[in-house]
């Protein structure tokens, strides 16, 4: 069980600063996921923790010890990379045992660790095979097993599922979650796939351009995003975000975008004519009768998935909206639908993209 703390960690390559003062505490036994778009610094941050990259300033603290000057080999961490990096001329057993053999561990202990890890990962029948005789998912299990046998202080995963096909990624996500439940160790996982982040993490760290945007439990980030970046990044399909002006009208506030005027409660503190952004997730836009609607939109595309339906609709003067409905909805391209935003699940952000309200009273 290992606690990892980052204190004002910065990283620059020459004059280019890529990590801008990260402060983060990772509690023992947590499954923490770093998520963000390509180039946001998540892999660099993981490599700094691992000791594969040095810090320009700040401290990396592992179990109370500052390890800035400690090489990767002495930090007691195990890293699983995007590429499997297996030795092609060695059997699965030898790949998993190789690091332990180099550390002069007793043969009986090596054998116990390798067989225990193989049993946990369900690769015991493949111990005598070489990597070329394994599927992608089996090779990834071997790479994870090689990390497990080291009994590390913490596991670091750098996009380990990105080389797998969609179906296998889903299966491996389940296995990683099960593995964490069995081992109970600290795990840090890097991905650009927010679905992986939502399904695996105890805690998600959303990164953007080398800075932390928000840290929290998956559903906290989903339900209570603190800015438009998190709101648009967490969730699939993404949240609908619409720029608008706020105007006072008959004791209420109206969100004005083009010819559309959407009334909300005046209990929200918005100054008249403020430039704001309002957001609604696809499942929080309802199809209603015209008399109950906020807006009317034309369907550009209807995706019928059997158990659910996605509509891509464009209201007059607004960007395209994504609407999610359970079940099969017989709506065709070009048809008009009447839409209402669920006020309790709407989000408001100010002109700087910072949250004003997550949920609007009726």
The SS3 of residue 80 is strand
Q: How confident is the model at residue 45 (pLDDT cuts 50, 70, 90)?
A: very high
pLDDT for the residue numbered 271: 64
Question: Strand 347-349 to strand 336-341: parallel, antiparallel, or no bridges (unpaired)?
Answer: unpaired
- The stretch 327-342 carries a mean pLDDT of 93
Q: How confident is the model at residue 248 (pLDDT cuts 50, 70, 90)?
A: confident
pLDDT for the residue numbered 63: 94
On average, the pLDDT of the chain sits at: 92
Tens of pLDDT, residue by residue over 5-33, are: 999 999 999 999 999 999 999 999 999 99
Those residues with Cβ within 8 angstroms of residue 105's Cβ, 6 or more apart along the chain or in another chain: none
User: Rounded to 5 degrees, what are φ and ψ at 281?
Assistant: -70, 155
pLDDT for the residue numbered 272: 59
Quote the radius of gyration of the chain (alpha carbons, Å). Answer: 25
Residue 84, pLDDT > 90, answer: no
- The stretch 200-226 carries a mean pLDDT of 96
pLDDT for the residue numbered 309: 95
pLDDT for the residue numbered 361: 82
For residue 108 the two structure tokens come to 């009986």
More confident of the two residues 160 and 49: 49
- The stretch 242-258 carries a mean pLDDT of 86
- The stretch 270-298 carries a mean pLDDT of 90
- The stretch 96-116 carries a mean pLDDT of 92
pLDDT for the residue numbered 273: 58
- The stretch 92-117 carries a mean pLDDT of 92
Angle separating helix axes 136-148 and 92-102, nearest 10 degrees = 20
Least confident range of 81-85, 109-113, 213-217: 81-85
Residue 194, pLDDT > 90, answer: no
- The stretch 193-221 carries a mean pLDDT of 94
Residue 250, pLDDT > 80, answer: no
pLDDT for the residue numbered 125: 94
Whole-angstrom Cα distance, residue 219 to residue 153?
28
- % of the chain surpassing 70 pLDDT: 99
Whole-angstrom Cα distance, residue 215 to residue 81?
24
């Amino acid at each position: 069980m290992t606690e990892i703390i980052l204190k004002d960690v910065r990283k620059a390559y020459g004059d280019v600063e890529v990590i801008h003062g990260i402060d983060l505490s990772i509690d023992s036994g947590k499954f923490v996921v770093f998520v963000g778009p390509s180039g946001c610094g998540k892999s660099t941050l993981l490599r700094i923790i691992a000791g594969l990259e040095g810090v320009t300033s700040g401290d990396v603290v592992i179990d109370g010890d500052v390890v800035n000057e400690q090489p990767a080999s002495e930090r007691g961490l195990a890293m699983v990379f995007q590429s499997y990096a297996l030795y092609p001329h060695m059997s699965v057993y030898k790949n998993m045992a190789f690091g332990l053999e180099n550390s002069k561990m007793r043969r009986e202990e090596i054998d116990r660790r390798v067989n225990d890890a193989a049993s946990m990962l369900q690769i015991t029948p493949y111990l005598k095979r070489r990597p070329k005789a394994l599927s992608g998912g089996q090779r990834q299990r071997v790479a994870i097993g090689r990390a497990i046998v080291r009994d590390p202080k913490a596991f670091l995963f750098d996009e380990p599922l990105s080389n797998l096909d969609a179906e296998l990624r889903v299966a491996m996500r389940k296995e990683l979650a099960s593995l964490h439940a069995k081992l109970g160790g600290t795990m840090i996982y890097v991905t650009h796939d927010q679905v992986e982040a939502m399904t695996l993490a105890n805690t998600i760290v959303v990164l953007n351009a080398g800075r932390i945007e928000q840290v929290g439990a998956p559903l906290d980030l989903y339900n209570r995003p603190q800015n438009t970046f998190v709101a648009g990044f967490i969730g699939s399909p993404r949240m609908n975000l619409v720029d608008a002006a706020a105007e006072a009208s008959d004791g209420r506030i109206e969100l004005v975008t083009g010819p559309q005027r959407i009334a909300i409660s005046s209990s929200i503190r918005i100054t008249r004519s403020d430039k704001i952004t309002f957001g609604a997730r696809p499942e929080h836009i309802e199809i209603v009768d015209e008399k109950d609607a906020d807006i009317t939109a034309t369907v550009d595309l209807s995706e019928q998935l059997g158990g659910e339906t996605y509509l891509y609709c464009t209201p007059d003067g607004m960007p395209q909206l994504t609407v999610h409905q359970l079940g099969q909805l017989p709506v065709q391209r070009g048809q008009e639908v009447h839409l209402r935003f669920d006020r309790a699940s709407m989000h408001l952000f100010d002109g700087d993209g910072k949250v004003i309200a997550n949920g609007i009273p009726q």
